């Protein structure tokens, strides 16, 4: 009996320490509408770092601030020297992190670490068991730390495959508590992938909404990032490269001409029923002849036009020389007179 009383007292003490009673109002839960706002600079750095490390996994730390209970702002990231070959990366190097933070403060970047990111090249956004342990170590220092996973292989222009996660407290699950509370609604919810659900999404960790907040100047800068300039059409190409490309196209035209001649001869010998299935799934040499010939003519016309414009632009002006020569002749004539 004494043993049972001690067990009940211990259980009651744990419940009071954790403030995890199901009906208690003192429980502080994170809201479902919490959003991670990632800046354009941080997103570009993460994608560039992830693409540079393919097929290896890479990781780094995110700098920013916790604005309020609903907002986490990420303004910058920096890479860490760790990498991994599987579906996890190694632990964080504290010495490198400390030195990097000191150097960033000297350059006017006083933000603190709000989480970490790593790449999953080609296999989606989720957390492995090692990633969960790494995230737990971050949450021991900062309870609201965020783990961002980005897939540089599946990401395309206009759609970045990225997600943010945080660990679910196992004690709250054992006591039947919800990991988060709902006081407001966000307009759009991303449907989780089957792969993420298999690897413990909503069981060991939950997903956080991600948004990208850009100013007007940032939008203007990003729009002009890969903008073509009209002067690019006047740039001269290497004659050797251009000649090799013309030679390849001419050889291709010769091969297509032979194929077209063979097809014309076969059409005269085959019946209508045989012709219906004879060339199904094969290259039509007549259409390819037209396309390749048109490209060859257009490129050569543009190349000749560039050469003529370049010649006229780089030719020395002869008007001043002509005037000087004329004045010199006049002086000679005056001296003779």
Last residue of a domain, one of 182, 198, 223: 223
Same domain, yes or no, for 118 and 183? yes
Q: pLDDT digit string (tens) for 141-180?
A: 898 999 999 999 999 888 899 999 999 888 777 777 777 7
Decide: 210 and 60 in contact? Cβ < 8 Å: no
Largest Cα–Cα separation, the chain: 142
pLDDT in the model for residue 195: 83
Averaged pLDDT, 113-142: 91
| Final residue of a structural domain among 223, 256, 289 | 223
Which residue range is the domain that position 127 belongs to? 31-223
Q: Return the sign of the alpha-carbon dihedral for residues 46, 50, 52, 53.
A: positive
The reported pLDDT for the residue numbered 54 is 87
Pairing, β 146-150 against β 180-181: unpaired
Q: What is the pLDDT of residue 15?
A: 42
159 within domain boundaries: yes
Share of the chain above pLDDT 90, in %: 31
CA-based nearest residue to 212, from 9, 43, 6: 43
Q: Indicate if 201 and 328 belong to the same structural domain.
A: no
- Let me know if residue 24 belongs to a domain: no
Higher pLDDT, 22 or 289: 289
Please indicate, yes or no, whether residues 197 and 67 belong to a single structural domain of this protein. Answer: yes
Q: How far is CA 308 from CA 138, 243, 318, in A?
A: 64, 17, 18
Is the pLDDT reported for residue 48 higher than 60?
Answer: yes
Q: Can you give the pTM of this predicted structure?
A: 0.62
**What is the count of structural domains for the chain?**
2
Grade residue 8 by pLDDT with cuts at 50, 70 and 90.
Answer: very low
3-state helix, strand, coil in the chain (%, to 5): 50, 20, 30
Three-state SS for 38?
A: strand
Residues in CB range of 237: below 8 A, 6 or more apart: 303, 306
Express each pLDDT in 56-96 by its tens digit: 889 999 999 999 888 999 999 999 887 665 545 556 778 88
Q: Which tens digit of pLDDT belongs to each residue from 110-122?
A: 899 999 999 999 9
> Which of the listed residues 199, 223, 247 is the one where a domain comes to its end?
223
Does 285 share its domain with 151?
Answer: no
Point out the least confidently predicted range of 212-216, 285-289, 297-301, 324-328.
324-328
Where are any strands of DSSP class E within the chain? 30-31, 35-38, 57-68, 71-84, 112-119, 146-150, 162-167, 180-181, 205-211
pLDDT at 323 over 60: no
Q: Which residues contact 250 (CB under 8 A, 6 or more apart)?
A: 296
Closest CA to 62 of 11, 111, 133: 111
pLDDT tens track for 188-212: 667 888 888 888 888 889 999 999 9
- Domain identity same for 125 and 236: no
Query: Residues near 194 by Cβ (< 8 Å), separated by ≥ 6?
Result: none
Q: Which residues of 218-239 are buried (b: 16+ CB within 10 A; e: fewer)?
A: eeeeeeeeeeeeeeeeeeeeee
Q: Mean pLDDT lowest for which of 10-24, 55-69, 308-322?
A: 10-24
Q: pLDDT by residue (tens digit) across 243-282?
A: 999 999 999 999 999 988 988 888 888 888 887 787 777 7
């Amino acid at each position: 009996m004494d043993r049972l009383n001690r067990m009940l007292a211990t259980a009651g003490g744990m419940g009071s320490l954790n403030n995890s009673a199901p009906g208690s109002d003192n429980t502080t839960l994170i809201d479902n509408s919490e959003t991670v706002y990632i800046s354009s600079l941080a997103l570009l750095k993460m994608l560039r770092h992830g693409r540079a490390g393919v097929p290896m996994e890479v990781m780094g730390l995110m700098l920013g601030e916790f604005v309020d209970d609903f907002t986490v702002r990420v303004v910058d990231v920096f890479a860490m020297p760790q990498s991994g070959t599987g579906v996890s990366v190694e632990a964080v190097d504290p010495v490198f992190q400390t030195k990097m933070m000191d150097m960033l403060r000297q350059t006017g970047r006083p933000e603190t670490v709000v989480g970490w990111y790593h790449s999953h090249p080609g296999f989606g956004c989720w957390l492995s068991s090692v990633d969960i342990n790494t995230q737990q170590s971050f949450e021991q220092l900062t309870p609201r730390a965020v783990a961002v996973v980005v897939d540089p292989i599946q990401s395309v222009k206009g759609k970045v495959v990225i997600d943010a996660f945080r660990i679910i407290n196992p004690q709250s699950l054992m006591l039947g508590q919800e990991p988060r509370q709902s006081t407001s609604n966000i307009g759009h919810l991303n449907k989780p992938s089957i792969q993420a659900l298999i690897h413990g999404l909503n069981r060991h960790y939950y997903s956080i909404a991600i948004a990208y907040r850009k100013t007007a100047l940032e939008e203007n800068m990003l729009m002009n990032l890969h903008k073509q300039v009209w002067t690019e059409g006047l740039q001269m190409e290497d004659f050797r490269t251009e000649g090799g490309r013309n030679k390849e196209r001419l050889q291709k035209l010769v091969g297509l001409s032979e194929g077209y001649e063979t097809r014309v001869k076969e059409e005269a010998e085959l019946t209508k029923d045989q012709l219906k299935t004879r060339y199904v799934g094969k290259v039509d040499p007549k259409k390819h002849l037209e396309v390749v010939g048109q490209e060859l003519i257009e490129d050569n016309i543009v190349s000749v036009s560039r050469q003529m414009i370049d010649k006229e632009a780089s030719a020395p002006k002869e008007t001043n020389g002509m005037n000087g020569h004329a004045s010199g002749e006049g002086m000679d004539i005056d001296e003779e007179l």
